[in-house]
Amino acid sequence: MAAVIDEECCTGCGACEAACPGDVIYMDHERGVAGVRYHDECLFCWSCRLECPWYGISIVFPMSIVP
């Protein structure tokens, strides 16, 4: 797992999608919220989390990289 979107906080502004260098975050325009695709390709760079004005993204590290 990687970035996790709190859909209750997401306003659909697109800041996270624009900030993601790996194209992992996308805007689901039908639902009006951000979504995560390609979980395994997340760079754990925190760009999406830092850019979210509503603090609606958390980063969850996989157990395989946690010491």
Asked if residue 20 lies in contact with residue 61, where contact means CB atoms within 8 angstroms, the answer is: no
Angle at 44 between CA 39 and CA 35, to 5 degrees: 40
Please give the pLDDT value at position 64.
63
CB contact at 8 A, 52 and 16: yes
- 52 CA to centre of own chain: 9
- Quick: pLDDT tens for 8-57: 999 999 999 999 999 999 999 999 999 999 888 989 899 999 999 999 99
Find out whether 52 and 15 touch, Cβ atoms under 8 Å. yes
Full set of structural domains in the chain with CATH: 3-60 (3.30.70.20)
